[in-house]
C-alpha cells in the first residue's frame, strides 16, 4: 500500500503512461481523409467473395523471430480462389506481376538489373500514373510542396524511392530496393523473412507451393472476417517463418504505392508511423526510410469492422 509522497508519484507516473498510450493512438485526420479519397478512387480493388475468396481457418500461435517452424493452424491455403483472368486483364496488375521475378531473394547477393527489367519498371510506373488513384496522390503531394507538377519529374521521384538499389546487407553489392522488400520479400542471412507485404505476391507464392499460410493473427475480441481488406497473418516461405506479417488484401498496386509514397514524402523521420481510419479499419501505417528511398512500408491492423468507433 502506498502512502503520501510515494503514492503521489505513482499516480503521476500512471497518468503519464496513460497519456502516452492515448497520444500514440491519436488519429491523423488529414492522412485519413486523403487515404479514404484514394480508397474510393481505387476502382481496380478486387471484390472479396467474387474476384477472390480467402479461408482464414485458425488463429496462429506465438513464435519468435528467426524460427524455422510453427504449428500450422491452417491446413489449406489462405487464398482458396482468385480470378486470374481478371488480374491479368487489369494493366496495373499485369505489369506489377512482371516485376516479381526480377530480384535475388537473399540479401548480400548483388542485384543485376537488366535493360528489360528497367523497361518493366518504367512500364509499371506509366500504368499506375495513368490511374485516378495516383493522379490524386500526385495532386496532393504537389499541394504539400513535396513533388513537382511535371509528370516526368514525379515519375523519376517514384523510381528513385521504389526501385533504386541500395545496400541492405553490408557485405556484397547493392542487394535491395524498396519495391523488392515491400512487394516481393527478402530473406536475411537465410534466417529471417523480411518484407513481403503484398497480397498478390502472397497468392502467387502459395500457388507455387513456396509459401505456407499458418493462420491469422488477432486479438481475441477482433477476429478477422473473410471479406476484410487488411489482415495480420503468419506464414512460412522457403523454409523460414514470419511470426506476423500485415498486408492489404484485394487492393490495387497503385493504391499501395500511393499511400506509402504520401506517408514517405510528407515526413523526414527515419521511421514514420501514423494511425489512420481507413474505410472500416483502424491502421497504424509504418514507413522506414533508407536515405531518399523506401526501406519498408506496411499497414499494421489495429481494429476492423469499425470496432474502434
Q: Is 288 a catalytic residue?
A: no
Give kind and range of the element (H or E) at residue 284. Answer: strand 281-290
Per-residue b or e along 192-211, where b marks 16 or more CB atoms closer than 10 Å to that residue's CB: ebbbbbbbbbbbbbbeeeeb
Sequence-separated (6 or more) residues with CB below 8 Å from residue 190:
106, 240
Q: Is 242 a catalytic residue?
A: yes
Cell representation of residue 127: 500504368
CA 145, CA 142: separation in Å to the nearest integer? 5
The Cα-based distances of 305 to 29, 130, 230, 233 in angstroms read 19, 32, 11, 17
Bridge partners, residue 232, by sequence: 246
| Strand 192-194 to 186-188 pairing | antiparallel
State the DSSP code for 90: S
CA angle centred on 54, ends 44 and 102, rounded to 5°:
60
Residue recorded with cell 547493392? 174
Catalytic residue among 138, 197, 214, 229: 197
Sequence-separated (6 or more) residues with CB below 8 Å from residue 107:
168, 169, 175, 176, 186, 187, 188, 189, 194
Cell representation of residue 7: 503514492
Catalytic residue among 181, 214, 229, 290: 181
State the DSSP code for 127: H
Contact criterion met (CB below 8 Å) for 261 and 137 = yes
The values of phi and psi at residue 94, to 5°, are: -60, -45
Catalytic residue among 214, 217, 229, 242: 242
Catalytic positions, please?
181, 197, 242
Amino acid at each position: 500500500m502506498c502512502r503520501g509522497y510515494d503514492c503521489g508519484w505513482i499516480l503521476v507516473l500512471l497518468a503519464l503512461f496513460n497519456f502516452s498510450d492515448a497520444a500514440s493512438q491519436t488519429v491523423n485526420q488529414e492522412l485519413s481523409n486523403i487515404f479514404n479519397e484514394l480508397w474510393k478512387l481505387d476502382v481496380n480493388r478486387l471484390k472479396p467473395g467474387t474476384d477472390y475468396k480467402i479461408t482464414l481457418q485458425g488463429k496462429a500461435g506465438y513464435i519468435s523471430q528467426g524460427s524455422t517452424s510453427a504449428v500450422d493452424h491452417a491446413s489449406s491455403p489462405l487464398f482458396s480462389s482468385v480470378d486470374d483472368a481478371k488480374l491479368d486483364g487489369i494493366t496495373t496488375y499485369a505489369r506489377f506481376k512482371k516485376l516479381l521475378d526480377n530480384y535475388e531473394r537473399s540479401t548480400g547477393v548483388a542485384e543485376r538489373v537488366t535493360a528489360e527489367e528497367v523497361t518493366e519498371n518504367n512500364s509499371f510506373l506509366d500504368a499506375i500514373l495513368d490511374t485516378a488513384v495516383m493522379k490524386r496522390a500526385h495532386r496532393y503531394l504537389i499541394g504539400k510542396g513535396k513533388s513537382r507538377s511535371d509528370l516526368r519529374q514525379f515519375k523519376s521521384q517514384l523510381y528513385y524511392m521504389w526501385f533504386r538499389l541500395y545496400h541492405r546487407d553490408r557485405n556484397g553489392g547493392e542487394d535491395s530496393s524498396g519495391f523488392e522488400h515491400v512487394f516481393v520479400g527478402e530473406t536475411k542471412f537465410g534466417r529471417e523473412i523480411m518484407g513481403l507485404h503484398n497480397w498478390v505476391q502472397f497468392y502467387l507464392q502459395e500457388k507455387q507451393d513456396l509459401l505456407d499460410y499458418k493462420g491469422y493473427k488477432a486479438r481475441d475480441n477482433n477476429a478477422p472476417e473473410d471479406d476484410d481488406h487488411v489482415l495480420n497473418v503468419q506464414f512460412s516461405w522457403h523454409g523460414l517463418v514470419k511470426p506476423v506479417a500485415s498486408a492489404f488484401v484485394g487492393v490495387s498496386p497503385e493504391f499501395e504505392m500511393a499511400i506509402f509514397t504520401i506517408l514517405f514524402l510528407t515526413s523526414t523521420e527515419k521511421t514514420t508511423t501514423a494511425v489512420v481510419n481507413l474505410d472500416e479499419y483502424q491502421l497504424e501505417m509504418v514507413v522506414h526510410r533508407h536515405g531518399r528511398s523506401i526501406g519498408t512500408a506496411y499497414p499494421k491492423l489495429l481494429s476492423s469492422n469499425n470496432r474502434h468507433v
